């Protein structure tokens, strides 16, 4: 569509921040022009990559390459809602046999949310049981501006995935308490047409 006189734009209301907003893809040669026009509108607020990352993490949204990749299944990542009933019944998608077996038998690992105090939890941080054995790894983490504490996502062995489970994370060779926490960390308030 055309946005503020700039043709060839794609406007998506998928706003990858957990906020009620849009993302606009624009021809590269007209990006500065469109940005300047949008910033002239008082109701428009831009969000940079750092804000986008903390907001998407607060909303419990996965980032490809961090939280999901070609080694992750929708069952492990808590994304089975992406597979409709017809597709599940027909099993006509890549990896159907493995994914549907995990639906029946439950996956061995699960994507979880974590909250902690102390230093921020960063990707590749080890998640440990109370006894100190490795039970998983952090995939994304940062301080939450909205909650005033550290949040993270990662994968843990299914036995340790229940909300409220006390674990530890190893940051800079020191162990810090962490708790499995339901996601989204901050509830979304998307506009829904009636």
Phi-psi region of 50 (alpha: psi -120 to 50; beta: other; left: phi over 0): alpha
Name all domains of the chain by residue range, CATH numbers in brackets.
10-46 (no CATH), 59-181 (2.40.30.110)
* pLDDT (0 to 100) of residue 42: 93
Residue-wise pLDDT tens for the chain (194 aa)? 999 999 999 998 766 677 777 788 999 999 999 999 999 999 887 777 777 788 899 999 999 999 999 999 999 999 999 999 999 999 999 999 999 999 999 999 999 999 998 999 999 999 999 999 999 999 999 999 999 999 999 999 999 999 999 999 999 999 999 999 999 999 887 777 77
Q: What is the pTM of this model?
A: 0.84
Query: Do 111 and 76 form a contact (C-beta atoms < 8 A)?
Result: yes
Total residue count of the chain as it appears in this document: 194
Query: Do 159 and 180 form a contact (C-beta atoms < 8 A)?
Result: no
Residue that is written with structure tokens 């061995």 in the block: 108
Mean pLDDT across the chain: 92
The residues near 3 (Cβ < 8 Å, ≥ 6 apart) are 9, 11, 24, 26, 34, 38
* pLDDT (0 to 100) of residue 60: 94
The residues near 102 (Cβ < 8 Å, ≥ 6 apart) are 73, 75, 76
């Amino acid at each position: 569509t055309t946005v503020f006189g700039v043709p060839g734009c794609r406007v998506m209301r998928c706003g990858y921040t957990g906020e009620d907003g849009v993302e606009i893809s624009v021809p590269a040669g007209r990006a500065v022009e469109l940005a300047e026009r949008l910033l002239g509108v008082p109701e428009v607020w831009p969000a940079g990559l750092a804000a986008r990352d903390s907001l998407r993490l607060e909303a419990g949204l996965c980032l490809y390459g961090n939280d999901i990749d070609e080694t992750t299944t929708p069952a492990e990542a808590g994304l089975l809602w992406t597979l409709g009933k017809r597709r599940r019944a027909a099993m006509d998608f890549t990896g159907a046999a493995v994914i549907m077996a995990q639906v029946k038998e439950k996956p061995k690992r699960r994507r979880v949310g974590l909250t902690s105090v102390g230093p921020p939890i960063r990707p590749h941080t080890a998640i440990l049981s109370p006894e100190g054995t490795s039970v998983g790894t952090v995939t994304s983490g940062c301080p939450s501006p909205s909650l005033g504490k550290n949040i993270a996502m990662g994968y843990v062995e299914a036995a340790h995935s229940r909300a409220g489970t006390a674990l530890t994370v190893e940051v800079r060779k020191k162990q810090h308490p962490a708790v499995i926490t339901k996601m989204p960390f901050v509830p979304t308030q998307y506009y829904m047409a009636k």
